Structure 1
Amino acid sequence: MSGVLCKSRNNTVIQVNAKAVDLCTGGFSANREMFESFTHVSYDNVIARGTMGTQRGDGITMGLELGALLHHPTAINYCSPVLPGHYNKGALTICGCNQADTIFLNQDSRRFCDESVIKDWTLSGNICSQQQHVYTIIDQDFVQKIMDEGVVTRRANYFEPGTPVPEFQQEIDDALTRENPRVFKADTIEDLAKQLGLDPEAAAAEIEKFNGYVDAGKDADFLKDPEYLRKVQTPPFYGFKTMLAFYNTVGGLKVDEYARVIGSDYKPIPGLYAGGSDAGGLFGPYYDVSIAPGSTQLWGRVSGYWAASHAVEEYMA
């Protein structure tokens, strides 16, 4: 492909004044205004993981300026709740914040889901993204259970169910020693709620109601599997103020089978291609990691291959 090479504001090299241009600048995860406009999720409630902060949406913007259509720009590939400042694959995060047999509260001190949704990154991500804050509450019995028996929820390859995690207590204690603003400990639920910035009476009432569901063997609010119902009753209690992490945006410009960008007349814009996170087409409104983990990486390769192959045949043959 001939033409002039230039750099966009995020130093992505693009080709202009050419017979063909391929937009592949990595989505818009680092652009607050574009992120909130397209996804309707507050940028303050999430944190990008694994990106370089250069995904400014330049390719999407350039495509829209040329009359391109969008394909589900709301789609985000969430990963899990994390604790900023801590290793997101360590025991503190995986065992404390990403387990089905815990209890999640939101900013109103209310449960808002069946906590076992944490097993599915996309499902839990979409649910948690509707909350201002997500807090995990555990007790000392839970900590001991993790150290003796391990986790119930497998998160990638970090901790296997049934394998003891003896370092869990130490990681919690280390975080408390550093006065981490997202890890708290108290002898009562009311005191813990105060530290977390929650309503103490509402939090205590919600925990008491949940414990009643455990005794009854039935979660009357969300029908959580009794296998994952565990009381929160033994002090000290621990609270984690999490942030929902995501890898990148995965909605983008509408493309066809050759990665050609589709315009408002639903016809390909001559010479314009999009790949990777600038190309919407692999996913609908959700990124389904449970079906195809790592699919965004493969999509980047395949869409780029389609674009290059078609452009060579169309404009250079």
Structure 2
Amino acid sequence: GTTEDVLAKVVILAAGGYLNNKEMMAEETDYDLSRMIPVSSGKGTGDGLRLGWSVGGRKYGTGMAMLFGGYLDDPDQPYFKMMSSQMNVAAGQQPLLWVNEDGNRFVDESVIYNFSYAGNALYTQNEVYSILDTGVIEKMAKDGNFMGLGVYVERGQKMDKLADEIAQAVADDKPFIFKADTIEELAEKTGLPKDQLTATIKRYNGFAAQGEDEDFGKDAEYLVPVENGPFYAFKLNIGAFCTMGGLKVSVNNEVEDADGKVIPGLYAAGNDASGLTGDTYGPNMPGTCAGYAFYSGRNAALNAQKYL
């Protein structure tokens, strides 16, 4: 709760954006924060940005976050705990069957292979449920998953803990999971329209049988029928890694003021910087925000050294 002045010839702001500051997220973005799960160090509190703005740094390119795929919201656990959960990966990271609040499919679910496509697709709907049957749960345990989640659960990993994790979540009555012996019962438990959910799954199973997705063109490899009970619906929130934008910088990562003039001795890097990159996701860059963090930190340091 105290404020301290620190005097230095050079300051490099690299505090990681503002994803973990609810007030700043509400002020700077238009996201429905009740649906967004911040999966990060928890230290993106916006301190670096507020410091830069307080000395005249230009606010630039705020309002965007790096969304990824479906993520389960367990109110009894810190968000990061779900990263290593096989259930979370099975529910939110597979190219299987997603339906919205109307019980309709809305996308080729294999968009999950691209973080930005997946996050954006999920966010276009008011609610999203991932539908799994016992057959695909057993298949992933025996043969491995389709899609992993970074270093936490590898792609192709056999989901040997999945059944137990699901059973425990049902036993604990977690708010994100619904279990039923029939699709009609599953619709009742989730509140989804019974007739539409039944029709959607019937149509989807038809696509699986013929090996062609006539609605969204999903590869036949991922057209796994939903036919063996018990059936599960997982309510998906949307994961977010970090925010983008904040302080306008030059090509030397120097912070600029509102007139585009460099503020001598002040630099910004990583998720505090914007203008060179940082206002878009950049899915072509390995490590996404990490790639720019490495580059901009080094660039800021080298140019700070020249300035000194």
Range of TM-score over shorter length: 0.7 to 0.9
Root-mean-square deviation (Å) = 2.7
Q: 1:259: how far off?
A: 1.2
Match in the other structure for 1:48:
38
Secondary structure, aligned partner of 1:272: strand
Is 1:87 the counterpart of 2:72? The answer is: no
Letter in 1 for 2:30: H
For the pair 1:251 / 2:245, whether they are aligned, the reply is: yes
- Using a 3 Å threshold, how does the CA distance of structure 1 residues 164 and 281 change in structure 2: closer, same or farther? same
* 1:153-192 paired onto structure 2 within 5 Å: 153-157=147-151, 158-161=153-156, 164-192=158-186
* 3-state secondary structure, aligned to 2:66: strand
DSSP 3-state at the match of 2:240: strand
**TM-score of the two chains, using structure 2 as the length reference:** 0.85
Kindly tell me: are residues 103 and 174 of structure 1, through their superposed partners in 2, closer, same or farther at Cα, counting changes over 3 Å?
Answer: same
Contact 2:102 2:192 in 1 (8 A): yes
Contact 1:260 1:269 in 2 (8 A): yes
* C-alpha displacement of 1:70: 4.2
Number of paired residues? Answer: 301
C-alpha deviation, 1:67, in angstroms: 4.6
Partners of 1:113 and 1:269 in 2: how far apart? 46
* 2:251 and 2:276 in contact (8 A); partners too: no
Q: Is the Cα contact below 8 Å between 1:80 and 1:118 reproduced in 2?
A: yes
Partner of 1:132: 126
SS of aligned partner of 2:173: coil
The TM-score normalised by the length of structure 1 is 0.83
Matches of 1:108 and 1:46, distance apart in 2: 20
Name 2:77's counterpart in structure 1: none
TM-aligned CA distance change 1:159 to 1:57, over 3 Å? closer
Higher deviation after alignment, 140-149 or 260-269? 260-269
Aligned to 2:92: 97
Whether the 8 Å CA contact 1:94–1:155 is kept in 2: the answer is yes
- Aligned equivalent of 2:304, options 299, 302, 311: 311
**Identical residues among aligned pairs (%):** 32
269, 272, 276: which one aligns with 1:278: 272
1:196/1:88 Cα in 2 relative to 1: closer, same or farther (>3 Å)? Answer: farther
Maintained 8 Å contact 2:244/2:278: no
Deviation at 1:49, TM superposition (A): 1.1
Return the match for 1:77 from 62, 66, 72.
66
What SS does structure 1 have at the residue aligned with 2:83?
coil
CA distance in 2, matches of 1:233, 1:113: 21
- The one-letter amino acid paired with 2:72 is L
Are the equivalent residues in 2 in contact too, given 1:136–1:241 (CA < 8 A)? yes
Gaps of 5+ in 1: 1-5
In structure 2, the gaps of 5 or more residues are 75-80
